[in-house]
Amino acid sequence: MLTFIIRRLIQTIPVLLGVTIITFSLIHLIPGDPAQILAGEAASGDQVEQMRERLGLNQPLPTQYFNYLKDVVTLDFGTSIRNGRPVGDEIGARFWVTVELALYSTIFSIILGMIAGIISATKRYSFADTGIMIIALFGLSMPNFWMGLMLIQYFSINLGWFASSGWGTWQQIVLPVVTLGTTGAAIIARMTRSSMLEVIGQDYIRTARAKGVKERYVIYQHALKNAMIPVVTVVGLQFGSLLGGTVLAESVFAINGMGRLIIDSIRARDFPIVQGTVLVVSLLFVIVNLLVDIAYKVLNKRVDVD
Protein backbone atom coordinates (compact mmCIF):
# COMPACT_ATOMS: atom_id res chain seq x y z
CA MET A 1 0.00 0.00 0.00
CA LEU A 2 2.80 2.43 0.90
CA THR A 3 4.54 1.72 -2.40
CA PHE A 4 1.32 2.41 -4.26
CA ILE A 5 0.77 5.73 -2.47
CA ILE A 6 4.33 6.89 -3.19
CA ARG A 7 4.04 5.86 -6.84
CA ARG A 8 0.74 7.72 -7.23
CA LEU A 9 2.16 10.85 -5.61
CA ILE A 10 5.08 10.77 -8.06
CA GLN A 11 2.59 10.38 -10.93
CA THR A 12 0.88 13.61 -9.88
CA ILE A 13 3.95 15.62 -10.91
CA PRO A 14 3.50 15.27 -14.72
CA VAL A 15 -0.26 15.69 -14.27
CA LEU A 16 0.13 18.99 -12.45
CA LEU A 17 2.81 20.06 -14.94
CA GLY A 18 0.37 19.42 -17.76
CA VAL A 19 -2.30 21.42 -15.92
CA THR A 20 0.02 24.42 -15.65
CA ILE A 21 0.88 24.26 -19.36
CA ILE A 22 -2.74 23.97 -20.50
CA THR A 23 -4.00 26.66 -18.13
CA PHE A 24 -1.19 29.06 -19.03
CA SER A 25 -1.80 28.54 -22.76
CA LEU A 26 -5.59 28.92 -22.58
CA ILE A 27 -5.42 32.04 -20.42
CA HIS A 28 -3.22 33.83 -22.92
CA LEU A 29 -5.68 32.99 -25.70
CA ILE A 30 -8.43 34.95 -23.92
CA PRO A 31 -9.03 38.31 -25.67
CA GLY A 32 -8.07 41.38 -23.68
CA ASP A 33 -4.97 42.93 -22.18
CA PRO A 34 -4.60 42.99 -18.37
CA ALA A 35 -2.25 45.96 -18.65
CA GLN A 36 -4.87 47.95 -20.55
CA ILE A 37 -7.53 47.02 -17.98
CA LEU A 38 -5.38 48.12 -15.05
CA ALA A 39 -4.11 51.28 -16.74
CA GLY A 40 -7.62 52.33 -17.72
CA GLU A 41 -9.25 53.06 -21.03
CA ALA A 42 -7.91 56.62 -21.04
CA ALA A 43 -4.28 55.54 -20.56
CA SER A 44 -1.77 56.35 -23.26
CA GLY A 45 0.24 53.76 -25.15
CA ASP A 46 3.34 54.50 -23.08
CA GLN A 47 1.43 54.05 -19.82
CA VAL A 48 0.05 50.72 -20.99
CA GLU A 49 3.50 49.59 -22.04
CA GLN A 50 4.93 50.58 -18.66
CA MET A 51 2.20 48.56 -16.99
CA ARG A 52 2.99 45.57 -19.19
CA GLU A 53 6.66 45.83 -18.25
CA ARG A 54 5.83 46.07 -14.54
CA LEU A 55 3.68 42.94 -14.77
CA GLY A 56 6.23 41.07 -16.88
CA LEU A 57 3.78 40.71 -19.75
CA ASN A 58 6.25 42.14 -22.26
CA GLN A 59 8.43 39.05 -22.02
CA PRO A 60 8.07 36.09 -24.44
CA LEU A 61 5.46 33.54 -23.38
CA PRO A 62 7.98 30.71 -22.74
CA THR A 63 9.91 33.05 -20.43
CA GLN A 64 6.73 34.03 -18.60
CA TYR A 65 5.80 30.36 -18.18
CA PHE A 66 9.18 29.24 -16.84
CA ASN A 67 9.27 32.18 -14.43
CA TYR A 68 5.82 31.16 -13.22
CA LEU A 69 6.82 27.49 -12.92
CA LYS A 70 9.96 28.42 -10.97
CA ASP A 71 7.85 30.36 -8.48
CA VAL A 72 5.28 27.56 -8.15
CA VAL A 73 7.99 25.07 -7.20
CA THR A 74 8.78 27.31 -4.23
CA LEU A 75 5.04 27.58 -3.45
CA ASP A 76 4.95 31.17 -4.64
CA PHE A 77 1.86 31.53 -6.82
CA GLY A 78 2.58 35.14 -7.64
CA THR A 79 0.69 38.35 -7.01
CA SER A 80 -2.82 39.29 -8.06
CA ILE A 81 -2.87 41.76 -10.95
CA ARG A 82 -6.08 43.35 -9.68
CA ASN A 83 -5.20 44.20 -6.09
CA GLY A 84 -1.51 43.32 -5.62
CA ARG A 85 -2.23 40.73 -2.91
CA PRO A 86 -0.41 37.36 -2.88
CA VAL A 87 -2.33 34.71 -4.82
CA GLY A 88 -1.97 32.29 -1.90
CA ASP A 89 -3.80 34.73 0.38
CA GLU A 90 -6.56 35.25 -2.18
CA ILE A 91 -7.07 31.49 -2.58
CA GLY A 92 -6.77 30.85 1.15
CA ALA A 93 -9.57 33.30 1.86
CA ARG A 94 -11.93 31.31 -0.41
CA PHE A 95 -10.52 27.79 -0.15
CA TRP A 96 -12.37 26.44 2.88
CA VAL A 97 -15.69 27.90 1.73
CA THR A 98 -15.58 25.81 -1.45
CA VAL A 99 -14.27 22.73 0.37
CA GLU A 100 -17.07 22.98 2.96
CA LEU A 101 -19.69 23.46 0.25
CA ALA A 102 -18.38 20.44 -1.70
CA LEU A 103 -18.06 18.31 1.44
CA TYR A 104 -21.53 19.08 2.81
CA SER A 105 -23.08 18.54 -0.63
CA THR A 106 -21.30 15.19 -0.99
CA ILE A 107 -22.43 14.04 2.47
CA PHE A 108 -26.00 15.03 1.58
CA SER A 109 -25.68 13.10 -1.69
CA ILE A 110 -24.32 9.98 0.03
CA ILE A 111 -27.00 9.85 2.73
CA LEU A 112 -29.95 10.55 0.45
CA GLY A 113 -28.64 8.56 -2.53
CA MET A 114 -27.66 5.41 -0.63
CA ILE A 115 -30.90 5.27 1.36
CA ALA A 116 -32.91 5.69 -1.85
CA GLY A 117 -30.76 3.15 -3.73
CA ILE A 118 -31.01 0.49 -1.00
CA ILE A 119 -34.80 0.89 -0.73
CA SER A 120 -35.13 0.74 -4.51
CA ALA A 121 -32.96 -2.41 -4.77
CA THR A 122 -34.64 -4.30 -1.92
CA LYS A 123 -38.10 -3.44 -3.26
CA ARG A 124 -37.39 -4.07 -6.92
CA TYR A 125 -40.25 -3.31 -9.35
CA SER A 126 -42.42 -2.00 -6.53
CA PHE A 127 -44.14 1.38 -6.41
CA ALA A 128 -41.31 2.69 -4.20
CA ASP A 129 -38.68 1.51 -6.70
CA THR A 130 -40.45 3.16 -9.63
CA GLY A 131 -41.05 6.39 -7.72
CA ILE A 132 -37.44 6.67 -6.55
CA MET A 133 -36.05 6.08 -10.04
CA ILE A 134 -38.41 8.70 -11.53
CA ILE A 135 -37.31 11.23 -8.92
CA ALA A 136 -33.67 10.31 -9.56
CA LEU A 137 -34.16 10.87 -13.29
CA PHE A 138 -35.68 14.26 -12.52
CA GLY A 139 -32.71 15.10 -10.30
CA LEU A 140 -30.27 14.18 -13.06
CA SER A 141 -32.10 16.26 -15.66
CA MET A 142 -32.55 19.40 -13.58
CA PRO A 143 -29.92 22.18 -14.01
CA ASN A 144 -28.36 23.25 -10.72
CA PHE A 145 -28.81 26.96 -11.34
CA TRP A 146 -32.55 26.50 -12.04
CA MET A 147 -33.07 24.43 -8.91
CA GLY A 148 -31.15 27.00 -6.88
CA LEU A 149 -33.39 29.80 -8.12
CA MET A 150 -36.54 27.76 -7.39
CA LEU A 151 -35.36 26.95 -3.87
CA ILE A 152 -34.62 30.63 -3.23
CA GLN A 153 -38.04 31.65 -4.54
CA TYR A 154 -39.98 29.16 -2.43
CA PHE A 155 -38.00 28.58 0.76
CA SER A 156 -36.30 31.96 1.08
CA ILE A 157 -38.62 34.56 -0.45
CA ASN A 158 -42.03 32.93 0.04
CA LEU A 159 -41.52 31.07 3.32
CA GLY A 160 -38.51 32.92 4.72
CA TRP A 161 -37.03 29.75 6.20
CA PHE A 162 -33.51 30.06 4.76
CA ALA A 163 -31.14 32.81 3.63
CA SER A 164 -30.84 33.41 -0.10
CA SER A 165 -27.16 34.41 -0.11
CA GLY A 166 -23.92 34.19 1.85
CA TRP A 167 -22.20 31.36 3.69
CA GLY A 168 -21.61 30.56 7.34
CA THR A 169 -24.86 30.01 9.23
CA TRP A 170 -27.02 26.92 8.78
CA GLN A 171 -29.73 29.06 7.17
CA GLN A 172 -27.21 30.01 4.48
CA ILE A 173 -25.82 26.48 4.06
CA VAL A 174 -28.99 24.44 3.47
CA LEU A 175 -30.13 25.71 0.06
CA PRO A 176 -26.70 25.62 -1.70
CA VAL A 177 -26.03 22.13 -0.32
CA VAL A 178 -29.40 20.82 -1.51
CA THR A 179 -28.87 22.48 -4.89
CA LEU A 180 -25.48 20.88 -5.48
CA GLY A 181 -26.24 17.60 -3.71
CA THR A 182 -29.41 16.68 -5.60
CA THR A 183 -27.68 15.61 -8.81
CA GLY A 184 -25.09 13.61 -6.88
CA ALA A 185 -27.81 11.93 -4.82
CA ALA A 186 -29.59 10.88 -8.01
CA ILE A 187 -26.40 9.39 -9.47
CA ILE A 188 -25.54 7.58 -6.23
CA ALA A 189 -29.10 6.23 -5.91
CA ARG A 190 -29.01 4.74 -9.41
CA MET A 191 -25.51 3.33 -8.93
CA THR A 192 -26.37 1.87 -5.50
CA ARG A 193 -29.50 0.21 -6.87
CA SER A 194 -27.64 -1.28 -9.84
CA SER A 195 -24.73 -2.51 -7.74
CA MET A 196 -26.97 -3.89 -5.00
CA LEU A 197 -29.10 -5.82 -7.48
CA GLU A 198 -25.97 -7.38 -8.98
CA VAL A 199 -24.65 -8.42 -5.58
CA ILE A 200 -28.01 -9.65 -4.27
CA GLY A 201 -28.14 -12.13 -7.14
CA GLN A 202 -24.85 -13.78 -6.14
CA ASP A 203 -24.69 -17.34 -4.78
CA TYR A 204 -23.32 -16.38 -1.36
CA ILE A 205 -26.33 -14.12 -0.74
CA ARG A 206 -28.73 -16.97 -1.56
CA THR A 207 -26.68 -19.26 0.68
CA ALA A 208 -26.89 -16.80 3.58
CA ARG A 209 -30.65 -16.56 3.18
CA ALA A 210 -30.95 -20.36 2.96
CA LYS A 211 -29.10 -20.62 6.30
CA GLY A 212 -31.74 -18.44 7.89
CA VAL A 213 -29.65 -15.28 8.28
CA LYS A 214 -31.85 -12.28 8.98
CA GLU A 215 -32.64 -10.22 5.87
CA ARG A 216 -31.36 -7.00 7.43
CA TYR A 217 -28.02 -8.65 8.20
CA VAL A 218 -27.82 -10.07 4.68
CA ILE A 219 -28.43 -6.64 3.13
CA TYR A 220 -26.25 -4.45 5.31
CA GLN A 221 -23.43 -6.85 6.26
CA HIS A 222 -23.02 -8.92 3.11
CA ALA A 223 -24.57 -7.18 0.12
CA LEU A 224 -23.97 -3.51 0.89
CA LYS A 225 -20.25 -3.79 1.63
CA ASN A 226 -19.51 -5.63 -1.60
CA ALA A 227 -21.72 -3.25 -3.56
CA MET A 228 -19.87 -0.19 -2.30
CA ILE A 229 -16.85 -0.22 -4.64
CA PRO A 230 -18.61 1.30 -7.69
CA VAL A 231 -20.45 3.68 -5.36
CA VAL A 232 -17.15 4.85 -3.86
CA THR A 233 -15.96 5.64 -7.39
CA VAL A 234 -19.01 7.80 -8.01
CA VAL A 235 -18.67 9.54 -4.64
CA GLY A 236 -15.01 10.32 -5.25
CA LEU A 237 -15.66 11.71 -8.71
CA GLN A 238 -18.63 13.67 -7.39
CA PHE A 239 -16.61 15.30 -4.63
CA GLY A 240 -13.72 16.03 -6.97
CA SER A 241 -15.99 17.61 -9.57
CA LEU A 242 -17.72 19.72 -6.92
CA LEU A 243 -14.39 21.23 -5.85
CA GLY A 244 -14.14 22.86 -9.25
CA GLY A 245 -17.80 22.87 -10.21
CA THR A 246 -19.39 25.10 -7.59
CA VAL A 247 -19.28 28.14 -9.89
CA LEU A 248 -23.00 28.30 -10.65
CA ALA A 249 -24.09 27.68 -7.07
CA GLU A 250 -21.64 30.25 -5.74
CA SER A 251 -22.93 32.76 -8.28
CA VAL A 252 -26.61 32.09 -7.59
CA PHE A 253 -26.20 32.21 -3.80
CA ALA A 254 -23.50 34.94 -3.78
CA ILE A 255 -20.95 32.71 -2.02
CA ASN A 256 -17.35 33.91 -2.03
CA GLY A 257 -15.67 30.62 -2.90
CA MET A 258 -12.97 29.54 -5.33
CA GLY A 259 -15.42 29.04 -8.18
CA ARG A 260 -16.57 32.64 -8.02
CA LEU A 261 -12.95 33.74 -7.63
CA ILE A 262 -12.05 32.00 -10.90
CA ILE A 263 -14.90 33.68 -12.79
CA ASP A 264 -14.08 37.14 -11.41
CA SER A 265 -10.40 36.63 -12.20
CA ILE A 266 -11.08 35.52 -15.77
CA ARG A 267 -13.20 38.61 -16.35
CA ALA A 268 -10.42 40.82 -14.97
CA ARG A 269 -7.70 38.92 -16.88
CA ASP A 270 -6.01 38.23 -13.54
CA PHE A 271 -3.77 35.45 -14.84
CA PRO A 272 -1.93 34.56 -11.58
CA ILE A 273 -5.20 34.04 -9.67
CA VAL A 274 -6.67 31.82 -12.39
CA GLN A 275 -3.52 29.73 -12.70
CA GLY A 276 -3.13 29.31 -8.94
CA THR A 277 -6.77 28.39 -8.37
CA VAL A 278 -6.85 25.83 -11.18
CA LEU A 279 -3.63 24.28 -9.90
CA VAL A 280 -5.01 23.96 -6.36
CA VAL A 281 -8.27 22.42 -7.60
CA SER A 282 -6.35 19.95 -9.78
CA LEU A 283 -4.16 18.92 -6.86
CA LEU A 284 -7.23 18.34 -4.69
CA PHE A 285 -8.83 16.23 -7.42
CA VAL A 286 -5.70 14.06 -7.66
CA ILE A 287 -5.68 13.60 -3.88
CA VAL A 288 -9.37 12.62 -3.89
CA ASN A 289 -8.68 9.98 -6.57
CA LEU A 290 -5.85 8.60 -4.44
CA LEU A 291 -8.15 8.34 -1.43
CA VAL A 292 -10.74 6.54 -3.57
CA ASP A 293 -8.14 3.94 -4.61
CA ILE A 294 -7.17 3.43 -0.97
CA ALA A 295 -10.85 2.99 -0.08
CA TYR A 296 -11.04 0.19 -2.68
CA LYS A 297 -8.43 -1.76 -0.77
CA VAL A 298 -10.16 -1.17 2.56
CA LEU A 299 -13.54 -2.34 1.23
CA ASN A 300 -12.23 -5.31 -0.71
CA LYS A 301 -8.92 -6.94 0.21
CA ARG A 302 -8.85 -8.70 -3.16
CA VAL A 303 -8.36 -5.40 -5.01
CA ASP A 304 -4.70 -5.12 -5.98
CA VAL A 305 -3.40 -1.56 -5.74
CA ASP A 306 0.32 -2.37 -5.35
Residue type, 253: F
pLDDT on residue 39: 65
pLDDT on residue 244: 67
Q: Is residue 277 in a domain?
A: yes
pLDDT on residue 1: 65
Q: Is residue 87 in a domain?
A: no
In the chain, which residues have pLDDT < 70? 1, 4, 30-34, 36-43, 55, 221-222, 244-245, 296-306
pLDDT on residue 299: 61
Q: Is residue 232 in a domain?
A: yes
Q: Is residue 231 in a domain?
A: yes
Q: Is residue 18 in a domain?
A: no
CATH code of the domain containing 256: 1.10.3720.10
What range defines the domain where residue 145 resides?
96-299
pLDDT on residue 47: 72
Please write the tens of the pLDDT for every residue from 267-295.
Answer: 777 778 888 888 888 888 878 877 777 77
pLDDT on residue 49: 75
**Residue 16: exposed, middle, or buried by beta-carbon count in 10 A (0-12, 13-18, 19+)?**
middle
Please write the tens of the pLDDT for every residue from 128-145.
Answer: 888 888 888 887 787 777
Q: Is residue 37 in a domain?
A: no
Q: Is residue 221 in a domain?
A: yes
Burial 270-281 (b: 16+ CB within 10 A, else e): bbbbbbbbbbbb
Number of structural domains found in the chain? 1
Q: Is residue 35 in a domain?
A: no
User: Would you tell me how many other CB atoms lie within 10 Å of the CB of residue 78?
Assistant: 19
